[in-house]
Amino acid sequence: MKRFLIGMAALLFLLAAFEFAGEKISPKDSGEGGARRGEAPGETPGEKAGGEAPVLPLRTLDGTELSLADFRGKKVLLNFWASWCSPCREEIPHLQKFYRRHGGEIAVLAVNLTFGKENPETVKKFVEDHGLTFPVLLDREGKMMKEYGVVGIPTSFFIDEKGMIRRKYVGPMKEKDMDKIFRQMEESSE
């Protein structure tokens, strides 16, 4: 099991490095439920736009258990990241600003891939250093990552009040990208 987790961490690192090396690729709007660069839906529930979002429970840094089911009735931005990932570090300030402005309207949950290079102490220091105020969940075994079909980070999912995935976004977002997708969700729920 340990070899598998180390292998997964190495794979994620290579995918992130390959994905974001050199020229930045700007996200294209591929419609509701779409992912950047026309990524096709896969076989896992998390990759299917319009499918129900997996609700596995995870623990926060302070040990509280949270599940996506706890947020039923509220929109959710679910973000997968790691502190060693430079595109994730680029995205984090935008995520915090978005949360500060819209936290009452949409829950922001950051799922840290806490295996391989990552550990709770590293994550805690990162959260404190960056003044993050949204919940950070620890995916210690990669179960949530697997359930959502995440192969590169950062990857974000926008989930509606009924727990249905409305949009998948692969790569770092800026606050304006988050705002745009959030507005689209608001308009489609009216």
- pLDDT at 16 exceeding the cut of 50: no
Residue 155 and residue 169: Cα distance in Å, rounded?
A: 6
Whole-number pLDDT of residue 49: 60
Average pLDDT, the chain: 81
Residue 174 tokens read as: 């800026």
Least confident of 6-10, 17-21, 89-93, 169-173: 17-21
The answer to whether the beta carbons of residues 80 and 153 sit under 8 Å apart is yes
Whole-number pLDDT of residue 36: 41
Crossing angle (nearest 10°) for helices 2-20 and 86-102: 80
| Number of neighbours of residue 52 by Cβ within 10 angstroms | 14
The answer to whether the beta carbons of residues 148 and 138 sit under 8 Å apart is no
Dihedral sign computed on CA atoms, order 177, 178, 181, 184 = negative
Q: Which residue has the higher pLDDT, 6 or 99?
A: 99
- pLDDT at 84 exceeding the cut of 50: yes
The answer to whether the beta carbons of residues 148 and 41 sit under 8 Å apart is no
Phi, psi (rounded to 5 degrees) for 144: -65, -40
Whole-number pLDDT of residue 140: 94
Residue 162 and residue 105: Cα distance in Å, rounded?
A: 14
Whole-number pLDDT of residue 186: 87
Band the pLDDT of 154: cuts 50, 70, 90: very high
Average pLDDT over residues 111-139: 95
pTM of the model: 0.76
Whole-number pLDDT of residue 98: 98
Map residue 77 onto helix, strand or coil: strand
The answer to whether the beta carbons of residues 154 and 80 sit under 8 Å apart is yes
pLDDT in tens, 23-65: 232 233 333 344 443 343 444 455 556 689 999 999 999 999 9
Band the pLDDT of 7: cuts 50, 70, 90: low
Phi, psi (rounded to 5 degrees) for 90: -65, -35
Whole-number pLDDT of residue 6: 54
